[in-house]
Amino acid sequence: MVKWTSSNMPSQKGRSAVVTGTGGLGFETALALAQAGAEVIIAGRNPKKGVVAVAAILETVPAADVRFEALDLASLASVADFGRRLRNQRLSLDILINNAGVMRPPKRRMTEDGFELQLGTNYLGHFALTAHLMPLLRQSKSARVLTLSSIAARQGAIDFNDLNAEVNYRPMPVYAQSKLACLMFALELQRRSEAAGWGVTSLASHPGLSRTNLLYNSAGRWSSVGILRSLLGFMFQPVAHGAWPTLFAATSPLAQPGNYIGPERMSETRGYPTLAKMPAPALDQADAKRLWELSETLTGVRFW
């Protein structure tokens, strides 16, 4: 692939985007899309951070069409309410970027609906969000759904016998499971869109190692691994560069349906966007189908 950066992004004028997450990768993604002319809706659970993010974008791009909407991915009721609001406000949506996440709480925590926090926020919340926004996405002439995974997905495994980590909670393996689930969702969404004629393109990306809010503000910050990562933060690429794979997948004509995009250098930890190596479990279509059907049951949503 070419040495692509956000400066290579085609004009997004006339296109609309929802980006989950108010800081880090979410902010940089929203900023770049606004700079390219897109209408951007930043969705997050903290209104104060949302106001700050919108103000920062407007300071850089005074003419930006950007606003904040409240969305708590750890609450299925909040996700459903967000979907209803957007369906009442607009007729279509062109880009959905499933970005926000939680990383490695040292102790097991739960969402409002009783799911393990990482599974519920990183994966199930975005699964439900995509379903609620699918009617809008299907009205777009060229909708894309971009779901963020992680290089941690390489170590991930879907434990169907303990998906909610009730028996065995270990922060990193559970985080890796949630990010593998995100990748499997992106691939299965593409297969189902093609089979049903939804006209929605699904892709996945990962940011490599970037100095994101997850690095400094995650619930696991004061764990030994969190402290190490904070101290060695200088080794991580700038967060704006970490957003490049997402922006490439969401906007570039070179990105193809079902692609998984990550950085090109140093075992996909940094660099320009390129095709990422797909973890073997992500290619198991039987497990992807099983996970999808289980996720519909757990979240109470259906795609149409």
- DSSP character at residue 237: B
d(CA 199, CA 204): 17
175 is catalytic: yes
Nearest CA to 111 out of 80, 69, 89, 78 is that of 78
The Cα–Cα gap between 181 and 175 comes to 10
What order of strands is seen across the sheet that includes strand 200-205? 65-70, 39-44, 16-20, 95-98, 143-148, 200-205, 260-265, 270-275
**Given 175, 216, 260, 272, which residue is catalytic?**
175
The DSSP symbol for 26 reads: H
168, 245 Cβ separation under 8 angstroms:
no
Distances (CA, A) of 94 to 98, 100, 301: 13, 19, 21
**In this structure, is the dihedral angle defined by the CA atoms of residues 195, 199, 200 and 202, taken in order, positive or negative?**
positive
How far separated are the first and last CA of the chain, in Å rounded?
34
- The CA angle 243-246-251, to the nearest 5 degrees, is 120
Which pair of tokens denotes residue 276?
A: 């990422």
CB 255 within 8 A of CB 4: no
Active site residues: 175
